Amino acid sequence: MKIIDAHIHFTAGEGFSATAEEAGHENSAEHLAAELKRLNIVMAVAMGSGGGNTGCSEPMIPNLSGRDAELPPFIAWCAGVNSAELTRDNLTSTLEKFENCLRRGNCVGIKLYPGYNFFYVSDPLYHPFYELAAAYDVPVVIHTGDNANSHGKLKYSHPLTVDDVASDFPGTRFVMAHYGNPWIVDATEVAVKNPNVFIDISGLAVGRFEPEWFCSRYSSYLEYIKMWMTYLSDYKKIMYGSDWPLVNLENYLSVIKRLIPEDEYENVFFNNALRVFPKISRLL
């Protein structure tokens, strides 16, 4: 079975390198390429991240390989919005830079980081990005749920906030990254209500672990997720993602396969990503 990993990070830095090591990986393009090939993952979507206080709102581009021009062919990417530097004064120039990104074949979406950035997704500054995404037929991926550090603010990343923009921008596709975990029920309802909202199931576990141990230790947690997936009753809304290098790819695949009915594997692990990120078809 061919697999598309709809949510990874392709980012340099000591923090990501240490995290990769804890997950049994090496944070390098060469190692990732070998692992993806071994697991028959034919494409991965990397989230642009790492923007700092630069004085301007440049699109955040995956940078493990240095420059976008050096991204390997198995990596598509989403341009990250550096909300901390986004202002009404630089909004027009920022949108022009994002449009330039979206003209590239391997830029397949836009990524927002509420929770890490203290903006609700309904903030009017974001509205032109939703219109731009609709114009280029790409999704807006939104970090939802828990944050990786204590500096974030959870009220901004609650999945119910996505309902506001999904209702106001019905022509734009939105992806709730990480299934809004731990607010699984809220994320499910947002996806049920809004035909333009999808879910990626990345980041539901971290590190390296034995799948049998994990499924036993966290059986209630996994059954809870499985229950609300069943309630959703539409596996075409769900995309596989890992959040590499935060989790061991092989172990995570093994766990996630236990949550999905086998007759839905092709949709969850491959077809749905092609529908939500239509530019990937040309890359394949």
Q: In what order do the strands lie in the sheet containing 3-8?
A: 3-8, 41-47, 75-80, 107-112, 140-143, 174-177, 197-200, 238-239
C-beta separation of 156 from 114 below 8 A: yes
C-beta separation of 5 from 240 below 8 A: yes
**Model-level pTM?**
0.95
CATH number at residue 212: 3.20.20.140
Q: How many CB atoms lie within 10 A of CB 92?
A: 9
DSSP 5-34: EEEE----SHHHHHHHHHTT---SHHHHHH
Range of the domain at 124: 3-283
Residue 55's pLDDT is what? 46
pLDDT tens, N- to C-terminus, the chain (284 residues) = 999 999 999 988 778 899 999 999 999 999 999 999 999 999 999 998 765 544 456 788 887 765 545 789 999 999 999 888 888 999 999 999 999 999 999 999 999 999 888 899 999 999 999 999 999 999 999 999 998 888 889 999 999 999 999 999 999 999 999 999 999 999 999 999 999 999 999 999 999 999 999 999 999 999 999 999 999 999 999 999 999 999 999 999 999 999 999 999 999 999 999 999 999 999 99
C-beta separation of 62 from 32 below 8 A: no
C-beta separation of 10 from 246 below 8 A: no
Q: Number of structural domains, the chain?
A: 1
State how beta strands 41-47 and 3-8 pair: parallel
CA gyration radius, the chain = 17
Residue 85's pLDDT is what? 86
Question: 184-193 and 160-168 helices cross at what angle (nearest 10)?
Answer: 10
In this structure, what token pair is assigned to residue 283?
Answer: 């890359």
d(CA 59, CA 48): 8
Question: 91-102 and 127-135 helices cross at what angle (nearest 10)?
Answer: 20
